[in-house]
Amino acid sequence: MPHFLSLFFRSLRGQLALWFGGLSLLTLLSVGLYVGRLATQQVATTAGASIHATARAAADLLSASLRDHELDIMLLSLVS
């Protein structure tokens, strides 16, 4: 059997099969890495937007609460 494999890879057919397989693996690996990088960037962008929206909502809520407290203090100062 090893003699058969040795003869197969020395033939043009074997060399072409080896080159085609190697180039296919290289292409798949390159595309996989590229798609992985794009997906990672998209996840980071989405997570950043989500955190920004949450922080914005918290800031708006805090702003409204502080404005209410300021009005309460102004009213109390006018009464006294």
SS3 29: helix
Confidence grade of residue 70 (pLDDT, cut at 50, 70, 90): very high
Diameter over CA atoms, the chain: 105
> Can you give the pTM of this predicted structure?
0.62
Range of the domain at 34: 2-79
Residue whose structure tokens are 């989500």: 50
pLDDT in tens, 1-59: 566 667 776 788 888 988 999 999 999 999 999 999 999 999 999 999 999 999 999 99
CA angle 45, 50, 56 (to 5 degrees): 125
13 touches 21 (CB < 8 A): no
H or E stretch including 75?
helix 12-79
Number of domains in the chain: 1
